[in-house]
Structure 1
Amino acid sequence: MLGMLLLASSSLYGQSSPSATVSASAAPAGRVVLADSSVNTGNATHFDGLGSPYGGCGVPQTNLESQDFVALNVWDTPGDYAGQPTPRPVPSSDADKMGPFDNGHNCGRWVRVTIGDYCTGTNDGAAGQAFCRNGNWTSDKYNGATLDMLVADSCGDTNAWCRDDPYHLDLATHSLNTFQLGGRPVADMYPDRWNNRHISWSYIPAPGYSGDISIGFVQNAATWWPTIDVTHLPNGIHAVEYYDGSAWVSAGMVSDLGQQYTIGPNSTGGSRYTVRVRDVDGKLVQGGRTYTFALPSSCTSGCTQPYTAVGYTTGDAGSGSLDAPTNLAVTATSAGSVSLSWNASSGASGYDVYRDGQPVGSATGTSFTDTGLSPSTSYTYTVKAHDSSGGTSAASNSVSATTQTSTGGGGTDSGCTATTKLVNSWSGGFTAEVTLTNTGTSTSKGWRLGWNWPGSQKVTTAWSATLTQSGSSVTASNVDYNSAIPPAGRTTFGFNATGDSSGLPGHPVCTLN
């Protein structure tokens, strides 16, 4: 992928400024992955363009919404420069080797990049060598220049930039002199004052976003392989769901091409499709808007072009005549589950259940049991009805439920064990890792664990998991790439927290889905 790798490195590479918001939406496993507002400091290289017909995110270069684009590292394997340290997509068993490309889950996002110092020495990204050898990092008139850029590609090369520095960015060559400083492009930074400078960067929502998403069928797409590209996103893409005539179904990403998904038709053997899209935070794009379109006649025997754009009609969630479910109630709880029931909606073909604002399952009847929960933890639920055409109602009333206290001990519950390790501590804070092991006999579909702080400790940042804290109670759950843990397999996540590290629990209680 790298046309010309000319990197900027830093003695500060791989560092980030702290954030008060815990988020795993940008979270590559096994690395320090901070909230979207964090500023990451790393090295910068440049490359001439995307591969043909597709870049690492699965979109042709001509169909990107911006020609100012970047690539993120596939792997985070300091000192390991093997051609492919793991398969792609990176399996959950190798989560500690995953880079911020995050198996494509950061595709379609935007980053705000700021130019840092210039290297006066050798800065070639040689494997096993220091960045900026025989020279110094110095500031000059280009420091502080900024540009908003689109994540469109992946960096898997066998050099120090793509393996040693998790916060390395590879920038489009033609963008280097368009960085803005004082409202004007720098114009002449590249090539004479480039030498792979330092950069800092952070994720941002799509700047000045207007309009709606774009959808196109990929090359060879047909009724037997209806695969689409989704672009022009307001805040990245983490999932596509399609309506099969009775329920919403999760579409499969094509390998780690983060913007390509294989969907299904509204009816068996059909060529008409309805989809909805989830952004990097798991929220439905445009408030749950649905997009209905057909396979073009030119693609009857398979699309011949890398991208065949399609028009669509939209439907807005809750805007139709379908009534919201009523009288949602909690009917039972256990240490790891909550059971719900509600009154039927006239005309509904099924129901979607939401826990704390995120979808957790569907039902054709008027009851549902949510499993894999953490003991002694509070959850809030709503339910939406859907009909056979993909229309969705407004949400039901919300109800809250608290799971019962676990009767298990020693940090073991529902087929798993969890242990913690103190990685580092300082005055007023610490870094810790949690390792979860599947002690059951089948591969998990997800996991959760929780603990209570004994004092005023507070989680500030997290990586490789989604952490929430309410008062002294902390709940952790899987992200997309580490939900599946095979029997005897394990996954690790980490976090930073304020307060006394002596309050770190030895064995948090865990549950596998």
Structure 2
Amino acid sequence: MRAPAHPRRRPPRRLLAALATAVAAALVYVLTMLPAPAATPNADAADVVGNATHFDGLGQPYGGCGMPQSELDLPDFVALNVFNTPGDYTMYQRPVPASQSSIIGAWNNGHNCGRYVQVTIGDYCTGTNDGAANQPFCRNGSWVSDQYNGATLTMLVADSCADPNAWCRDDPNHLDLDTASLGHFTQNGSTVSGLADRWNNRHVSWHYVSAPNYTGDIKIGFLQGAQRYWGAISVSHLPNGVHGVEYYSAGAWHDAQMNGDMGQSFILDPITSGGTDFRIRVRDVTDGYVFGGRTYDFSLPASCSGQCSAAYTGVSYTTGGGSGTTPPTTPTSTPPTTPTSTPPTSPTTSVTPTVTTTTPPATGTCTAAVTVTNSWSGGFQVDATVKNTGTVPIGGWAVRLTLPSGVQVSSIWNAAVDPSAPATTMRNVSYNGSLQPSGTTSWGMTLNGSSQSLGTPTCTAS
């Protein structure tokens, strides 16, 4: 279940009823029932209490933090709220800009990715607790304790919740749990049973904890589409989360740009321009260097000679400096044995795109396919794939769509709208314009409006 200001592609949250409509008089009453705004819950200091929903696994190829589910350190994971906007269900820009810092939720623009939370089961709701927009929680009922109160589980922050409902907007302490994890809670040393059957989006309390029983060192992997000119990586197996990555290039250290708000993914430059060797160091949630500033040297694998085709390609590395535990001597993660041909489609993977102004002098042909992958009241999400169908490499592409009346692009990733072109034209960004014959790349967008009839896209190669 994943999406950002571009809604997440994951199975529907288990809401118990359809959204109810509210008249103006009821809205006044409801707003008095909603949690007070709080940019980020202070779960570092003590337990916070919120409603808990559950969902059926991460989207593809990545969860909101930029990690495939198969590469997570724990099988039990949660999603945090992207926005804190009680009564406001607008799809805002992600990452949330500093000018709108008051609406940042517990997700904290991805900065809580890779952290661990201790979750404790709380009271059960006897009424209607469906997360309907502009409705109070646990309507026509009360919160009661039962035999599950006090059951606990340590879970990993791996995803984000930006859906336009009360869970993801009105409750700043809301947690969205992976459904399978409901069968892993323990109480008095034993795993509890039947918790999923008595859920009703009950209360939980939670707080952040350090990685349990941590050993070894971090893991590093290149993401799909990574190449020498777009060094997209994810870092994981973190002792205390990640607040930033620095890379060494051209004789100096630089702050790496986060990949959208996927808090464990960052974009690097190589040590030397055009090279394939990289060096990084990592900061944790305290903004201190992991293992005293240990550096990690690694290279783009031979399997990524053009670009990485697998969703995640783990790499081995050598270390220097720093302090702490002994680094691993073998690859920190096994790369997938069967590369996927599907380019990254996660809305959360985009950095702020810029329109390509120059492209290599190549000619060729291309095709584009667009698919509506998610929808909600007043909008929908589209994922698109561009393919080089010619016999020579292309250096850029443009896709033209004729949008229905009243439909407008709300947000876009891995492409950029060209306002100078006719109709609605999307062009490649700096890192995905070059395609070899039969090569593909992907992009996506969210749109405001009800009509999803986008017609047939036309693709022009350059």
User: Which is strand-richer, 1 or 2?
Assistant: 1
Secondary structure, aligned partner of 2:169: helix
Kindly indicate whether the alpha-carbon contact (under 8 Å) linking 1:41 and 1:167 is maintained by their aligned counterparts in 2: yes
- The match for 1:95 is 101
1:130-184, Cα deviation, whole Å (9 max, x unpaired): 1111111110110000000000000010110000001100000000121010111
- The match for 1:268 is 273
- The match for 1:250 is 255
Specify the code of the residue in structure 2 equivalent to 1:177: G
Secondary structure, aligned partner of 2:51: strand
Specify the code of the residue in structure 2 equivalent to 1:224: Y
- The match for 1:352 is none
Kindly indicate whether the alpha-carbon contact (under 8 Å) linking 1:3 and 1:46 is maintained by their aligned counterparts in 2: no
Cα deviation for residue 34 of structure 1 reads: 2.2
Cα deviation for residue 318 of structure 1 reads: 8.1
Specify the code of the residue in structure 2 equivalent to 1:81: Y
Kindly indicate whether the alpha-carbon contact (under 8 Å) linking 2:223 and 2:233 is maintained by their aligned counterparts in 1: yes
State how far apart, in whole Å, the 1-side matches of 2:322 and 2:159 are.
32
1:246-280, Cα deviation, whole Å (9 max, x unpaired): 11111110110111101111112111111100000
Alignment of 1:126 with 2:95, yes or no, is no
State how far apart, in whole Å, the 1-side matches of 2:40 and 2:322 are.
36
- The match for 1:160 is 166
- Structure 2, unpaired ranges of 5+: 2-9, 17-31, 325-462
1:450-470, Cα deviation, whole Å (9 max, x unpaired): xxxxxxxxxxxxxxxxxxxxx
State how far apart, in whole Å, the 1-side matches of 2:33 and 2:155 are.
22
Alignment of 1:74 with 2:79, yes or no, is no
Greater C-alpha radius of gyration: 1
Specify the code of the residue in structure 2 equivalent to 1:130: P
Cα deviation for residue 36 of structure 1 reads: 1.0
Kindly indicate whether the alpha-carbon contact (under 8 Å) linking 2:40 and 2:108 is maintained by their aligned counterparts in 1: no
Report sequence identity in percent.
57
The one of 288, 292, 314 aligned to 1:287: 292
Cα deviation for residue 126 of structure 1 reads: 0.5
Alignment of 1:304 with 2:309, yes or no, is yes
- The match for 2:154 is 148
Cα deviation for residue 213 of structure 1 reads: 0.3
1:218-254, Cα deviation, whole Å (9 max, x unpaired): 0010001111010100000000011114111111101
TM-aligned CA distance change 1:176 to 1:35, over 3 Å: closer
State how far apart, in whole Å, the 2-side matches of 1:157 and 1:56 are.
13
1:386-406, Cα deviation, whole Å (9 max, x unpaired): xxxxxxxxxxxxxxxxxxxxx
Secondary structure, aligned partner of 1:261: strand
1:65-84, Cα deviation, whole Å (9 max, x unpaired): 111000000100000122x0
State how far apart, in whole Å, the 2-side matches of 1:310 and 1:284 are.
21
State how far apart, in whole Å, the 2-side matches of 1:40 and 1:269 are.
48
The one of 56, 60, 73 aligned to 1:65: 73
- Structure 1, unpaired ranges of 5+: 16-28, 320-513
Kindly indicate whether the alpha-carbon contact (under 8 Å) linking 1:218 and 1:306 is maintained by their aligned counterparts in 2: yes
Secondary structure, aligned partner of 2:52: strand
The one of 202, 206, 231 aligned to 1:201: 206
- The match for 2:348 is none
State how far apart, in whole Å, the 2-side matches of 1:128 and 1:73 are.
17
- The match for 1:277 is 282
Size of the aligned set, in residue pairs, is 301
The one of 27, 34, 44 aligned to 2:42: 34
Runs of 4+ with deviation above 6 angstroms: none
State how far apart, in whole Å, the 2-side matches of 1:143 and 1:6 are.
21
With structure 2 as the length reference, what TM-score do the two structures score? 0.63
Kindly indicate whether the alpha-carbon contact (under 8 Å) linking 2:41 and 2:173 is maintained by their aligned counterparts in 1: no
- The match for 1:338 is none
State how far apart, in whole Å, the 2-side matches of 1:194 and 1:7 are.
11
Specify the code of the residue in structure 1 equivalent to 2:80: L
Kindly indicate whether the alpha-carbon contact (under 8 Å) linking 1:245 and 1:267 is maintained by their aligned counterparts in 2: yes
Kindly indicate whether the alpha-carbon contact (under 8 Å) linking 1:81 and 1:159 is maintained by their aligned counterparts in 2: yes
Specify the code of the residue in structure 2 equivalent to 1:235: N
The correspondence of residues 350-429 of structure 1 with structure 2, limited to 5 A, is none
State how far apart, in whole Å, the 1-side matches of 2:150 and 2:291 are.
34
The one of 204, 215, 228 aligned to 1:223: 228
1:29-73, Cα deviation, whole Å (9 max, x unpaired): 962642613211111000001110011111111011111000000
Specify the code of the residue in structure 2 equivalent to 1:94: Q
Kindly indicate whether the alpha-carbon contact (under 8 Å) linking 1:205 and 1:234 is maintained by their aligned counterparts in 2: yes
State how far apart, in whole Å, the 2-side matches of 1:195 and 1:126 are.
13
State how far apart, in whole Å, the 1-side matches of 2:15 and 2:297 are.
44
State how far apart, in whole Å, the 2-side matches of 1:266 and 1:277 are.
16
The correspondence of residues 501-512 of structure 1 with structure 2, limited to 5 A, is none
- The match for 2:117 is 111
Secondary structure, aligned partner of 1:163: helix
State how far apart, in whole Å, the 1-side matches of 2:34 and 2:38 are.
16
TM-aligned CA distance change 1:12 to 1:67, over 3 Å: farther
- The match for 1:422 is none
The one of 182, 189, 200 aligned to 1:183: 189
Kindly indicate whether the alpha-carbon contact (under 8 Å) linking 1:7 and 1:46 is maintained by their aligned counterparts in 2: no
RMSD between aligned residues: 2.0
State how far apart, in whole Å, the 2-side matches of 1:257 and 1:291 are.
21
TM-aligned CA distance change 1:182 to 1:14, over 3 Å: farther
Specify the code of the residue in structure 1 equivalent to 2:191: P
Specify the code of the residue in structure 2 equivalent to 1:203: Y
Secondary structure, aligned partner of 1:62: helix
With structure 1 as the length reference, what TM-score do the two structures score? 0.57
Secondary structure, aligned partner of 1:298: helix
Kindly indicate whether the alpha-carbon contact (under 8 Å) linking 1:7 and 1:44 is maintained by their aligned counterparts in 2: no
TM-aligned CA distance change 1:175 to 1:195, over 3 Å: same
Specify the code of the residue in structure 1 equivalent to 2:93: P
